[in-house]
Amino acid sequence: SYELTQPPSVSVSPGQTARITCSGDALSKQYAYWYQQKSGQAPVLVIYKDSERPSGIPERFSGSSSGTTVTLTISGVQAEDEADYYCQSADSTGSYLVFGGGAKLTVL
């Protein structure tokens, strides 16, 4: 089996930088993807292939990778960024997909 581990919660004040990590053995071989899920809404892709940002996603969202850990960074956090964030990757074949447990970002 393969798992992705995220911290359950991250808290930052407005204007600060939030960093949300995701770790797992698969990440040394597979890309990671990040989704933002606001309360009562469907998830939205914010980062793909570790560090690429889809069109329409603010520049304050960025991603990075190092070994078996990937990090979603939100610079200059705004109140509207308060949400659950999920990482996603795949097994070594790329065919079987998995989500991390999610991290709740609280903007103080």
Partner 1 sequence: QLQLQESGSGLVKPSQTLSLTCAVSGGSISSGDYSWSWIRQPPGKGLEWIGYIYHSGSTYYNLSLKSRVTMSVDKSKNQFSLRLSSVTAADTAVYYCARVVIVVANRWFDPWGQGTLVTVSS
> Nearer to partner 1 by C-beta: 16 or 28?
28
> Nearer to partner 1 by C-beta: 71 or 88?
88
Number of Cβ within 10 Å of residue 66's Cβ equals 11
d(CA 83, CA 77): 11
Binding mask of the shown chain, residues 18 to 57, with x at each position contacting partner 1 by CB under 8 A: ------------xx-x-x-----xxxxx--xx----x---
User: SS3 of 28, please?
Assistant: helix
Q: Are 63 and 104 in contact (CB under 8 A)?
A: no
d(CA 98, CA 90): 6
- Residue 45 CB, shortest distance to partner 1, in Å, is 4
Q: List contacts with partner 1 (CB under 8 A).
A: 30-31, 33, 35, 41-45, 48-49, 54, 86, 88, 90, 93-102
